[in-house]
Structure 1
């Protein structure tokens, strides 16, 4: 192939890429949530999908593919055609924690996806069943220390953000609380509501409705500042653990190889949607912190976040089992 031929092919590819982005979408778009319905990632995805459907003039459906701490859904998207019709609502677990936690994943986390944009940061809340005799984080710590190994806590999965937050809490307070992992935030919350476990760390997105209805009690939030959805709930940092900070997040990604022009269009559209007053207010009311980014910013964010969790996992000796 001559140099001229190669140049013409490159130009043709660029034109095709731009044309594809301009025509997209001409059919339904699927956002894969790699967890069961009911969790924070699922809730955030549905809020955004509704507006994107209007923006794009095509249905935007949610496909919940839970399993293996998000690996099943992430792998499905990693192997999907890079045409913008199958996207991943990833989170801190799928993009930052799993690569540090598992020696081998069914996909290469560095090469399988192209980041599109952050959607929201999701602070965590320290939640207990109302039957537990504790009104504050300090009272719970005293209770746990008096009954080592007798209290249980649920999480959305071994090695997930809530699990790591709970283990950091245990390490900082010198308590022994038994971990009971579930396949997603929904089932973990269900057993907390039933009183089968006493404690769970979950996103404020997941917690706020249960707190307002009196079904669960929030003892603290894990962010550095209080959140507007639970304004009367103190932070762990201002209570029993100065400096404590553990925030989850959600963001949209596409399979590697998706045309750059299409990725940039989707990123701009997500920014527009998340900045809509009703979307922003829904995320805030549910405990999220709306936050978007460019593809490059999101890529850097994931890299830094992964390094932080790699250090935590190694220091704490945390495994996926």
Structure 2
């Protein structure tokens, strides 16, 4: 009889917990939600967040505020969210850097694998392999041939050591069996400007950063880093279909909550974002900003974070990449 009573009590506690989570999700959000962007205003992560925050605010009937908390490659803002109350009212718009790359480059004040509850990958951010048209390089094959003939003599720019731009190039070199020389700059703007000016030969730029120059003819696009062609550049092949089978190196932006946030709230936010991304006009807006809508489940997003950590941790170690 005592055993039966204990089991019944345990069952009641479990039921109460499930009911509480359901009630939390049902009432959520009952007040303002803050999404922390761990970077300065104006970048791809910030732009995507502001577009999404407006739509979520309209859907929820509550204010969704974007708070920029930049510094230390995104770790300051991420740490703020990691310490926040796990009630769904403070979220993080992380990216591939904060969640999958930084752990291999920095000593962080939190463990990305345990400090957060992944909600959903919002967008995938392909990069475009671009060259100065004066180089006379018209394809991925041409670039590989040139790099093999002049090992170490071709220079590629990036937005900094350990950036997704550098890692995409390192992955390219590993796959192609070539060696180019890295020239890091303080941001994508200078990296692109120096490519246009002829100080460097090649770079992997974002759609937002390099795309306009491709359309103007100041840069020539050789390939995109995603597994599928980018809608805004349908004539530009993927690097994989250009001869490097299996090549895929993309950045991404995604929502996370502090660890311990009720699963019901995580699932609700994930489902609501996915619903928004299914709207054609909203998706077109994100595509115009350089992102391909995703809307993954929490489980799928968690796997993406871990898979990318394993991929880039190996690249960082194999190529002795370090930040100053």
Q: 1:296 to 1:154 in 2, by over 3 A?
A: same
Matched, 1:65 2:69: yes
Could you list the runs of 5+ residues in structure 1 that have no partner in the other structure?
A: none
- Return the offset for 1:6: 8.4
Query: Could you say what the CA RMSD is over the residues aligned between the two structures, in angstroms?
Result: 3.3
**Contact preservation (8 Å) 1:145, 1:175:** yes
Matched, 1:85 2:89: yes
SS of equivalent to 2:126: strand
- Return the offset for 1:190: 5.8
Matched, 1:169 2:172: yes
- Return the offset for 1:146: 6.7
- Return the offset for 1:228: 1.9
- Return the offset for 1:155: 2.5
- Return the offset for 1:85: 2.3
- Return the offset for 1:277: 1.1
Question: Hey, what's the Cα distance between the residues in 2 that align with 1:186 and 1:8?
Answer: 59
**Contact preservation (8 Å) 1:229, 1:286:** no
**Contact preservation (8 Å) 2:171, 2:249:** no
Q: For residues 177-188 of structure 1, what are the structure 2 equivalents within 5 Å?
A: 177-182=181-186, 185=188, 188=191
More divergent stretch after superposition (23-32 vs 163-172): 23-32
Aligned to 2:115: 112
Q: 1:199 to 1:297 in 2, by over 3 A?
A: same
Question: Hey, what's the Cα distance between the residues in 1 that align with 2:282 and 2:194?
Answer: 30
Aligned to 1:304: 307
Aligned to 2:60: 56
Aligned to 2:295: 292
More divergent stretch after superposition (25-34 vs 71-80): 25-34
- TM-score of the two chains, using structure 1 as the length reference: 0.83
Could you list the runs of 5+ residues in structure 2 that have no partner in the other structure?
A: none
Q: 1:308 to 1:144 in 2, by over 3 A?
A: closer
More divergent stretch after superposition (246-255 vs 205-214): 205-214
Q: 1:200 to 1:70 in 2, by over 3 A?
A: farther
Which residue of 26, 43, 46 corresponds with 1:42? Answer: 46
| CA deviation profile, 1:244-284 (whole Å, cap 9, x unmatched) | 22122221101112222211111111111111111222334
SS of equivalent to 2:123: strand
**Contact preservation (8 Å) 1:40, 1:206:** no
- TM-score of the two chains, using structure 2 as the length reference: 0.82
SS of equivalent to 1:239: coil
Aligned to 1:98: 102
- Return the offset for 1:174: 2.0
- Return the offset for 1:180: 0.4
Matched, 1:232 2:235: yes
